[in-house]
Structure 1
Amino acid sequence: MDDPPLSLSERFILKDIERRLRRDPRLRHRMRSGHRVRSYWLPLAVTLLGAASLFLMVVGIRTSDPPVIWAFAGLWPLTLVQGFRLLCRWTEPEHVRSPLR
């Protein structure tokens, strides 16, 4: 690649950015660890939402109580959205994953 050389002000700005990045302890830890820290909140949330949705569905079918049916109707879309996010995370290739997720 034949990029033009950086001007003096561009080199100064680049050095300043590098200095700030070297001072960031979280970035330094991530770079040293070599792997991404996995978050277990999303799988736990999907599991709990799924269990609550299943419970509300069964109780709603058995009792036909409108508040229970409405609670299920409100919780079920949230469960589906979070389940879809989890599925997307599981199917995403390892090298494409964003370190900020």
Structure 2
Amino acid sequence: MGNELEMSMMGELNFFLGLHIKQTSSGTSICQEKYTSEMLKKFHMVDSKPIDTPMGINSKMGTNEADPLVNQTMYRGIIGSLVYLTASRPDIVFSVGMCA
């Protein structure tokens, strides 16, 4: 492949598409802590209260006429970012799917 394409060695891979990649002798791990903190800043959720479970067991999804309208563009952006986040967080896949 080196004969066909110009290649250069840029060092060890650390970040790729929002994934922090750590390679050790025992294996490779991925982390999205930086992506998550940037996502929280982007959607103004830095001061949000964290919870232990991603979704309450008695949560009901639906529309409520009394609630104010949701900004659909922002909601879709949040869901899209969360779907990408599920690459390293299988524990939130169900909750993200329910909200999507």
User: Which TM-score applies when normalising by structure 1?
Assistant: 0.35
With normalisation by structure 2, the TM-score equals 0.35
Looking at secondary structure, tell me which structure has more strand per residue.
2
Normalized per residue, the structure richer in helix is 1
Whichever of the two has the greater Rg, that structure is: 1
